[in-house]
A and B are shown apart, each in its own frame.
Chain A
């Protein structure tokens, strides 16, 4: 009885599917086959796979090769390749051939020619911009590389601005990015390994390292992790980063994402490993420590004193961002005695008409700041800055006049917001901004005691993070041989060691002395 009822209800509410599920097993079987000797059959197979002529940019051109008297055909995807190259190096030589015993590879004058026997291998190359040449009577296919994907040219870095450093940034073409790195490291030990990481879209990942520096175990660890990825599509490095990182839910990033080739080259020379991918205007550097997020490219290029001055500023900015609002909340709520009495009177005078407790006041302003920041980021370019300034000014001014917040809170929040911009790395910037809210809550609940508690917990957490086996605060603690580039950096000529926490094959940087 009950069963009937259940089945009746489920029948009633069943979604009627207009599109019955189709299995692609036939297609998969077809792709597993070898290339046939019959040109006609091959062309039919490929027409079926590529849906020609529905599929507009896949082209087939039939040819006749004089001399050896054979029919041939080329298949290519016109949108992702240079048709001029095909015309000059494949079609014309083939049609002008007069020799009777010559090999096909010798007729074609293109720079890279390979062969494949399986249909799926041929497909893989065609999809990557190669041109496939079928000859009647041959059970293999010639693949001529002529890929030319459209993209933008090399532009200036937008997120990691540097005053003195090179002004080139990575773009979406992997080969351009590799070229930018090779330009900086002209050494035969620079290895660029390619692996396919996704099952369906066959995204290629380039693992870049310097062979005589990198630690083999680290490299193996990273390759193992890349091999365990089981995904259909990984579009770019930002997504890959989230897949391969050790603690995806952690507040701190453990892989450095940079758009500067000079920075990538610098890390490579220290024994780090760089990942590059098509469609990603950046490179991933791993492993990363806290310091690699804290540093900026300019720290290298500025003179010793200026660079360290910048570091001091950035360090204080970090602390101001995390602590200033929380300190204001806890001091006004729990430790009012520490404020000099004149200032205390001034604060209380401005707070006289404000109906909210400081905690709510600060939280409100901080949230408003985050709102402006996020909205400012998404606003279309031309009106972006206007919205930002107008929003900040009007919100601040009007909120004070309406007695919703006191002026000192506006100062405090502005200071903390401004300081947060000094941390250049986007991921670390987010981490700091989130921690700031935790601190404000801790300060509101338990004053300095709560802040110290959260800080201690955070510190215990930070030292327990490892990025591919490297402690997050290395080389500060635990101690390793290194150039000690942490809060401050040394004189460039005194930076004699590569970071020991990577266990590079060669720890000393200078060839002359050991």
Chain B
């Protein structure tokens, strides 16, 4: 008989990571990337993915040195109490900001694309209430839900992309480097932070069944994400061409509106629920991670109780921008460039200091 362990297996972990990062292909991220790189934008997730191997590699190195400790404690052990605390606080603020942007954007997607007459606040409250309910159930449950729905979500995405490709024109990808090779590399490396979620995985690393599972799971999900985001962006590009795709705020939703299947001309309602499922699970994970970090920062043991207040806070914050389609997207684009150095250098710094200090000496003392 299985006792309550609170640990999640590798399947659940991979499903969670893919839903956290992979769902980005269906929000405004592609449109942010299309703005500067036009028809070469689909290189960005690939190049950024390859660059992010470095920080993820070092992050895993550091995390596996402290197998039973979470990221916050590791930061404090390596960087010392005040600086570590400051870093965690900064990460938490960044997470909260990202969460606010994302929930606002997702609410906007639902509001502008599907429920144009429903009050935004109502959509927002339902979105956050469901995510908060999921987050409050705990990581195990989020993992289980993620694992049980991921196949259907990905199958629906796959069908949507196939239909998009069959309706699109593959020649739209040329000229292949768009504004130029150098531009592509430069812009892509600025957007490495689109994988910054991997840093936050350190927070839940100690809940994964084993360090090996965490390492393996992280790499597998990185590979899947590096593959699926560019393919989706290619599909948008082929369907709309670069000029019009630049004008679209939510290319995935425009895509599922555009495609048709035989006698069914409007099939977006078939894909919409799966996207919703993915979004609910995604925000559950974010809320959970936020609550864990906040609980650690302010020594609150029962951090689950923070989740409903957090969800409420997000609704209040997310309702501030009046036209999230433009304001939030703009802020998000800036935040993406801003977060890149943090994502790239934090694991490097952690690892070098750890090496200089001579590995994990404090583990016994800290436990």
User: Which residue in A337, A450, A469, A478 is a CB contact (below 8 Å) of B144?
Assistant: A478
Q: Is the CB–CB distance between A457 and B133 below 8 Å?
A: yes
> What residue of chain A has the Cβ atom nearest to residue B270's Cβ?
A338
Chain A residues within an 8 Å CB radius of B149? 459
Q: Is the CB–CB distance between A340 and B1 below 8 Å?
A: no
Chain A residues within an 8 Å CB radius of B277? 452, 455-456
| Shortest beta-carbon distance from A250 to chain B in Å | 14
Q: Is the CB–CB distance between B141 and A463 below 8 Å?
A: yes
Does B97 interact with chain A (Cβ within 8 Å)? no
Give Cα A474 to B144, complex, Å.
10
Q: Is the CB–CB distance between B126 and A449 below 8 Å?
A: yes
| Shortest beta-carbon distance from A291 to chain B in Å | 13
A340-B263, A457-B130 given; A463·B145 CB < 8 A:
yes
Give Cα A469 to B2, complex, Å.
6
Q: Is the CB–CB distance between B1 and A456 below 8 Å?
A: no
Does A292 interact with chain B (Cβ within 8 Å)? no
Does A479 interact with chain B (Cβ within 8 Å)? yes
Chain A residues within an 8 Å CB radius of B58? none
Does B273 interact with chain A (Cβ within 8 Å)? yes
Residues 129-146 of chain B, each 1 if its beta carbon lies under 8 Å from chain A, else 0:
110011001101111110
User: Which residue in A337, A456, A477, A503 is a CB contact (below 8 Å) of B280?
Assistant: A456
Does A75 interact with chain B (Cβ within 8 Å)? no
> What residue of chain B has the Cβ atom nearest to residue A217's Cβ?
B1
Q: Is the CB–CB distance between A460 and B145 below 8 Å?
A: yes
> What residue of chain A has the Cβ atom nearest to residue B122's Cβ?
A446
Within 8 A of A (CB), among B1-60: 1-4, 8-9, 11-12
| Shortest beta-carbon distance from B295 to chain A in Å | 20
Give Cα A456 to B273, complex, Å.
10
Chain A residues within an 8 Å CB radius of B276? 448-449, 452-453, 456
Chain B residues within an 8 Å CB radius of A254? none
Q: Is the CB–CB distance between B3 and A469 below 8 Å?
A: yes
Q: Is the CB–CB distance between A446 and B126 below 8 Å?
A: yes
Chain A residues within an 8 Å CB radius of B264? 338, 340
Does B147 interact with chain A (Cβ within 8 Å)? yes
User: Which residue in A331, A337, A457, A477 is a CB contact (below 8 Å) of B147?
Assistant: A477
Q: Is the CB–CB distance between B137 and A478 below 8 Å?
A: no
Within 8 A of B (CB), among A206-230: 215, 217-218, 221
Give Cα A479 to B142, complex, Å.
14
Q: Is the CB–CB distance between B148 and A470 below 8 Å?
A: no
Q: Is the CB–CB distance between A460 and B273 below 8 Å?
A: no
Give Cα A218 to B3, complex, Å.
10
User: Which residue in B9, B123, B129, B145 is a CB contact (below 8 Å) of A479?
Assistant: B9
Chain B residues within an 8 Å CB radius of A447? 114-115
Count chain A CB atoms within 10 A of each CB in B11, B268, B280 and give the residue with the most: B280
Does B90 interact with chain A (Cβ within 8 Å)? no
User: Which residue in B8, B118, B133 is a CB contact (below 8 Å) of A460?
Assistant: B133
Q: Is the CB–CB distance between A449 and B110 below 8 Å?
A: yes
Within 8 A of B (CB), among A426-481: 446-453, 455-457, 459-461, 463-464, 466, 468-471, 473-474, 476-480
Chain B residues within an 8 Å CB radius of A453? 126-127, 129-130, 276, 280
A340-B265, A469-B3 given; A477·B134 CB < 8 A:
no
Count of B interface residues, CB-CB < 8 Å: 46
Does B94 interact with chain A (Cβ within 8 Å)? no
Q: Is the CB–CB distance between A501 and B130 below 8 Å?
A: no
Does B302 interact with chain A (Cβ within 8 Å)? no
Does A423 interact with chain B (Cβ within 8 Å)? no
Give Cα A461 to B148, complex, Å.
13
Give Cα A361 to B273, complex, Å.
24
| Shortest beta-carbon distance from A233 to chain B in Å | 30
Q: Is the CB–CB distance between B141 and A464 below 8 Å?
A: yes
Q: Is the CB–CB distance between A456 and B145 below 8 Å?
A: yes
Chain B residues within an 8 Å CB radius of A421? none
Count chain B CB atoms within 10 A of each CB in A463, A468, A471 and give the residue with the most: A463
Does B269 interact with chain A (Cβ within 8 Å)? yes
Give Cα A476 to B151, complex, Å.
12
> What residue of chain A has the Cβ atom nearest to residue B268's Cβ?
A338
Give Cα A221 to B64, complex, Å.
36
Does B281 interact with chain A (Cβ within 8 Å)? yes
Does A146 interact with chain B (Cβ within 8 Å)? no
A338-B266, A452-B280 given; A459·B2 CB < 8 A:
no
Chain B residues within an 8 Å CB radius of A450? 126
A446-B126, A456-B130 given; A221·B1 CB < 8 A:
yes
User: Which residue in A338, A471, A501 is a CB contact (below 8 Å) of B269?
Assistant: A338
A340-B263, A452-B276 given; A473·B148 CB < 8 A:
yes
Does B272 interact with chain A (Cβ within 8 Å)? yes
A449-B126, A452-B277 given; A460·B137 CB < 8 A:
yes
Does B224 interact with chain A (Cβ within 8 Å)? no
Does B121 interact with chain A (Cβ within 8 Å)? no
Chain B residues within an 8 Å CB radius of A451? 273
Does A94 interact with chain B (Cβ within 8 Å)? no
Q: Is the CB–CB distance between B266 and A459 below 8 Å?
A: no
Give Cα A331 to B264, complex, Å.
14
Q: Is the CB–CB distance between B1 and A471 below 8 Å?
A: no
Give Cα A447 to B267, complex, Å.
15
| Shortest beta-carbon distance from B38 to chain A in Å | 31
Within 8 A of B (CB), among A393-443: none
Residues 306-335 of chain A, each 1 if its beta carbon lies under 8 Å from chain B, else 0:
000000000000000000000000010011
Q: Is the CB–CB distance between B269 and A463 below 8 Å?
A: no
A338-B266, A340-B265, A451-B273 given; A463·B144 CB < 8 A:
yes
Q: Is the CB–CB distance between B2 and A503 below 8 Å?
A: yes
| Shortest beta-carbon distance from B157 to chain A in Å | 15
| Shortest beta-carbon distance from B125 to chain A in Å | 10
Chain B residues within an 8 Å CB radius of A452? 272-273, 276-277, 280
Count chain A CB atoms within 10 A of each CB in B2, B126, B264, B284 and give the residue with the most: B2
Does A502 interact with chain B (Cβ within 8 Å)? yes
Q: Is the CB–CB distance between A470 and B2 below 8 Å?
A: yes
Q: Is the CB–CB distance between A449 and B267 below 8 Å?
A: no
| Shortest beta-carbon distance from A253 to chain B in Å | 19
Chain B residues within an 8 Å CB radius of A502? 1
Chain A residues within an 8 Å CB radius of B126? 446, 449-450, 453
Q: Is the CB–CB distance between B9 and A337 below 8 Å?
A: no
Give Cα A502 to B114, complex, Å.
45
Q: Is the CB–CB distance between A473 and B265 below 8 Å?
A: no
User: Which residue in B115, B145, B148 is a CB contact (below 8 Å) of A449?
Assistant: B115
Give Cα A335 to B276, complex, Å.
15
Give Cα A456 to B118, complex, Å.
20
Residues of A within 8 A of B (CB): 215, 217-218, 221, 287, 331, 334-335, 337-338, 340, 446-453, 455-457, 459-461, 463-464, 466, 468-471, 473-474, 476-480, 501-503
Q: List 29 A-B contacts (CB under 8 A).
A: A221-B1, A335-B114, A335-B269, A338-B264, A338-B266, A338-B267, A340-B264, A340-B265, A446-B118, A447-B115, A448-B269, A450-B126, A452-B277, A453-B276, A455-B277, A456-B145, A456-B276, A457-B130, A457-B133, A457-B134, A460-B133, A460-B137, A463-B137, A463-B145, A464-B141, A476-B148, A478-B140, A480-B2, A501-B1
Residues of B within 8 A of A (CB): 1-4, 8-9, 11-12, 110, 114-115, 118, 122-123, 126-127, 129-130, 133-134, 137-138, 140-145, 147-149, 263-270, 272-273, 276-277, 280-281, 284
**Given A217-B1, A449-B126, 13 more contacts at CB 8 Å?**
A221-B1, A337-B266, A338-B266, A338-B269, A446-B118, A446-B122, A451-B273, A455-B277, A456-B276, A459-B149, A463-B145, A469-B1, A501-B2
